[in-house]
């Protein structure tokens, strides 16, 4: 009886040993394939840490739409990551407490991208420069309005813009155009989680 019990336990151990590498490879493969989602969750967590009302995310929300315009202007999908990193560097290292100044600065960058894209004939491309310009105007208007109204209302406007941009990301991810799919996936996760976090803070404080 003891020998039989030992044999069964050894069989289970061997089966577990065989499953462990497979499980490890499964998680590794998942992270390798869905790294934009994992990165988006991490960035969103850092972004909403110590969130106070939502309007402090106004400039970031503006940047998200400018990234699309920059990629469309040069017709380089992976250029979205370059614009994002440049914008994040500005957010991180420019010493200013004014979301208005940063948002207006990103709008100025959007104007430059529009001029460059138009000179390259981007307005003739369906779903490219023209659509992204409309996106910047729409999301930019909401963000700027959020900075000039009551802080609570401004927070709701920023949350609305973030969630709306998450839908924008999903649309472009499905179409697989304008920006790299990895960027659209990452941005959708950040927008969705950040927008939800803003609403949570507004409804619970």
Angle ∠(107,75,65) on CA atoms, nearest 5? 30
Q: How far is CA 195 from CA 28, 36, 43, 177, 198, in A?
A: 29, 18, 13, 24, 5
pLDDT tens for the 205 residues of the chain, in order = 545 444 445 545 554 455 555 545 665 665 567 899 999 999 999 999 889 889 999 999 999 999 999 999 999 999 999 999 999 999 888 765 677 889 999 999 999 999 999 999 989 888 789 999 999 999 999 999 999 999 999 999 999 999 999 999 999 999 999 999 999 999 999 999 999 999 999 999 8
Closest by Cα among 125, 16, 139 to 75: 125
| pTM, 2 dp | 0.84
Question: How far apart, in whole angstroms, are the C-alpha atoms of residue 53 and residue 153?
Answer: 10
> Which of 156, 171, 180 minimizes the C-alpha distance to 81?
180
């Amino acid at each position: 009886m003891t020998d039989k019990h030992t044999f069964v336990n050894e069989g289970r151990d061997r089966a577990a040993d065989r499953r462990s590498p497979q499980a490890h490879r499964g998680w590794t493969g998942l992270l390798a394939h869905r790294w934009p989602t994992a990165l988006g969750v991490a960035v969103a967590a850092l972004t909403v840490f110590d969130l106070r009302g939502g309007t402090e995310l106004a400039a970031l929300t503006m940047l998200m739409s400018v990234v699309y315009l920059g990629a469309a202007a040069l017709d380089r999908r992976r250029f979205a990551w370059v614009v994002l990193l440049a914008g994040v560097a500005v957010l991180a290292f420019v010493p200013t407490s004014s979301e208005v100044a940063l948002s207006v600065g990103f709008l100025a960058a959007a104007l430059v991208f529009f001029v460059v894209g138009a000179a390259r004939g981007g307005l003739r491309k369906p779903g490219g420069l023209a659509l992204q310009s409309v996106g910047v105007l729409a999301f930019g208007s909401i963000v700027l309005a959020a900075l000039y109204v009551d802080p609570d209302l401004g927070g709701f406007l920023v949350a609305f813009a973030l969630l709306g941009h998450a839908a924008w990301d999903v649309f472009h991810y499905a179409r697989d155009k304008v920006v790299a799919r990895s960027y659209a996936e990452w941005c959708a996760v950040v927008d969705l989680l950040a927008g939800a976090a803003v609403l949570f803070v507004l409804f619970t404080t």
